[in-house]
Amino acid sequence: MDQDFAAATATQWLENAQTDVTRYAIFAIGVWLVLWVVFAAALRGRKIRSETPPAKQLGLEFLISLRSIAIFSTVGLATFMFERFGMLPGPAIAATWGPAWFWANLALIIVAHDAYFYWAHRLMHNRRLFRIFHRRHHKSMNPSPFTAYSFDLGEAVIMASFVPLWLFVVPTPWGVTGLFMLHQIVRNTLGHSGYELMPARSDGRPLFDFLTTTTHHDLHHAQAGWNYGLYFTWWDRLMGTEHPEYHARFAAAVRRPLRAELSLAAALERQT
């Protein structure tokens, strides 16, 4: 029995790690390849900073992210063990509550995670905690898609703990957890991508101003005392921690391609 349990535990850990590594690799490498290689010339006006991080930084971020994923898998293993011993009935209960609860739960977990992230993130910026929990992430002053999981050990544990805590409090189908993790890595890699892709209104503000943008999080890496939010701008605005130049920086980022096109058109007109 003990050997069977040990084998099941090891198998579950490996499955967790494989899933997380696959998600991270697909989206970190995919976003990097699409934005930084394939469409780099076409999107150069949307690049937030002129400098590009060196290859050494990208490689180190990738390796540290793999370490974070190992921690995620270990923390996530707790949910498997609690469910196996009948101490986590929520997922089985929620599976019987139908599609309305499934989609409502997905919305709730995203909103709850944004609040959890904001306050945990802000706490880690306390000067007594920063060096222990969050310094590694901010060594990527000019972030890349690979920065997404580049965490100190303590931060990785804090970030991994949200899902188990949520599952104990709120009955949640396993399918919701999978979609939530997919949403999380997509937003995370895009937020560190260095390219502003959010559409803008005619006044230069983000079309969906309640969502964070790449510019929003890039400003946090440049000036760490601002913009702690992950998915939404609500908490930063409520708590007065949104960068005062955020909208001006966003407008500058999204208007550069138009200016480049106008300059090219003017040059062609002069030649004719």
Compute the distance between CA of residue 227 and CA of residue 247 in angstroms, rounded to an integer.
12
CB-CB contact of 101 with 170 (8 Å) = no
Our count of domains for the chain comes to: 1
Between CA 187 and CA 157 the distance in angstroms is 20
**Residue pLDDT, tens place only, 218-262:** 999 999 999 999 999 999 999 999 999 999 999 999 987 544 444
Q: What is the distance between the alpha carbons of residues 156 and 133, in angstroms, rounded to a whole number? A: 8
Look at phi and psi of residue 53 and say left if phi exceeds 0, alpha if psi is from -120 to 50, else beta. Answer: beta
148-to-23, 74, 196 alpha-carbon distances in Å: 12, 19, 16
Closest CA to 62 of 154, 140, 160: 140
Residue with tokens 């890039």: 218
Supply the range of the domain harboring residue 245.
2-271
3-state secondary structure 218-235: HHHHHCCCCCCCCCECHH
Q: Any idea which of 6-15, 145-154, 176-185, 233-242 has the lowest mean pLDDT?
A: 6-15
**pLDDT tens-digit profile of 92-115?**
999 999 999 999 999 999 999 999
Quickly state the pLDDT bin for 270 (edges 50, 70, 90): low
pTM of the model: 0.90
